[in-house]
Amino acid sequence: MADPEQHADFVYDQIEQHHDLFGTGLPMIASENCISPTARRLLASDFHDRYAEGRPGKRYYQGLEHVDEVERRCEQLAGELFDAAYTDTRPTAGTTANMAVFFARTEPGDTVLTLDTDDGAHISHAPIGAAGLRGLNVEKLPADPDRLTVDADRAAEQIREVEPDVVLLGQSLFLFPAPVEQLAGPAAEVGADLVYDGAHVLGLIGGGQFQDPLREGADVVTASTHKTLPGPQGGIVLSDKDPEEAESFTDGLDKGVFPGTVSNHHLHHMAAKTVAFAEHLAFGEDYAEAIVESSQALAGALAERGLTVLCEEHGYTESHQVAVDVGDHGGGKQLAQRLEEAGIICNMNMIPGDENPLDPSGLRLGTQELVRTGMGPDEMDQVAEFYARVILKDETPDSVAEDVAAFADRFDEVHYCFDPGQEAYRFWELS
């Protein structure tokens, strides 16, 4: 018979080792972040154990008076943060938010134009992802290889020619703003919805440091709430269409979320989202500015050391991400493993010219978590040197890891939140 205590001890041990890995290293996965101490405490509340299908005041269960009040506050703060007339914070992930919009705004057989995953799009945009599961006809938007985004002029021609039902912008490798403003007109001409997947850049948008897709003409924004927006795992749907003036549109979005793709929407995550939105209203501008400045500083420092950083002629990046071509140094798969052994946690990534996603030439680096734990542009030169020691100087990962741990030890507290100064990588409530 299984011994519950033994298994619990095993899990605790693995989590402690996991915290040590991140606490003594440089966490640079572009799709991750660390939540604030206040928000993390809310994840352990009794909200975790409850069900709340539907919207506040229109539930299928009793006992939700206080849940409803928190959710109303969550929606209010999201609306303020993103200047959105319509908000739905119930999606449990960015992919779930995309699925909800597909269900709300398309029928099987409809056509969606989006970038190919080879050009940086997210897997949920692809025939093998959420778009394909909805039965959509996915056609590839033309890419601008110099900026790793959509070629606006060619895309406008394609929209007018194909007359799609949805034009889907936004990426997983997302260095520069998407051409929302340039494509909003052509999309409207043919009656297509312009949907912007802001999963990676939501915090930069909320901090006013990237682009404002709703003001630029997007009909709907979908996003994750746990990347540059440093909240709990989850998703969100936003629109500037007022529910009172565009009831059929927003009611469709509502039904796409529930009952379309979400039953209970993880109430403890919703509570933590509320705090994350409030913190970003207070600190998001400074945080987002520091992220972008740090990414640009990191890209320049890597290039100075001889690494091939993409998009040099355009300033490398305007987001939290940096893309590096390491094809001549063993490739992204091999180097991501060596870097992890050195305490540097990033991921392999396809770049233009790659064909095999399991053996790409690139690395994707994110600065948002480094900044969250106290680093800034001034520290990026040292971070770049660690990369150079592993990739260019071929030092042993163990020797680099010792220096990485000593460096990271100076930056282990959460910033840009209501209760800064607490350690990012430990058990606050469980130890």
Q: Tens digit of pLDDT for each residue in 170-201?
A: 999 999 999 999 999 999 999 999 999 999 99
> What ranges do the domains of the chain cover?
40-277
Residue 310, C-beta contacts closer than 8 angstroms, at least 6 positions apart:
148, 175, 316, 323, 324, 325, 351, 362
- CATH architecture group of domain 40-277: 3-Layer(aba) Sandwich (3.40)
What six digits make up the tokens of 148? 């790793």
Identify the CA nearest to 380 among candidates 294, 282, 291: 294
Is the pLDDT at 96 greater than 60? The verdict is yes
Q: What is the pLDDT of residues 9-20, one digit of tens each?
A: 999 999 999 999
Q: Classify residue 413 by its DSSP letter.
A: B
Whether the link from the prior residue into 259 is cis, omega within 30° of 0, is yes
Asked if 326 and 363 touch (Cβ cutoff 8 Å), the reply is: yes
Asked if 363 and 336 touch (Cβ cutoff 8 Å), the reply is: yes
The percent of residues in the chain predicted with pLDDT above 90, rounded, is 93
Tokens 């021609």 belong to residue: 157
Beta-sheet strands, E only, within 252-394 = 308-309, 321-325, 344-345, 347-349, 362-366
Is the pLDDT at 429 greater than 70? The verdict is no
pLDDT given at position 431: 46
Could you tell me where the DSSP H helices lie in 260-322? Answer: 267-304
Q: How confident is the model at residue 422 (pLDDT cuts 50, 70, 90)?
A: confident
Q: What is the pLDDT of residues 203-254, one digit of tens each?
A: 999 999 999 999 999 999 999 999 999 999 999 999 999 998 999 999 999 9
Q: Classify residue 419 by its DSSP letter.
A: S
pLDDT given at position 399: 96
pLDDT given at position 2: 74
Separation between Cα atoms, residue 109 and residue 328, nearest integer Å: 42
Residue 249, C-beta contacts closer than 8 angstroms, at least 6 positions apart:
239, 241
What kind and span of H or E run contains 408? helix 397-408
Q: What is the pLDDT of residues 326-351, one digit of tens each?
A: 999 999 999 999 999 999 999 999 99
The whole model's pTM is what? Answer: 0.96
> What is the average pLDDT value for the chain, to the nearest integer?
96
Instruction: Identify the residue with better confidence: 421 or 204.
Output: 204
Is the pLDDT at 430 greater than 80? The verdict is no
pLDDT given at position 428: 53
Q: Compute the chain's Rg from CA coordinates.
A: 22
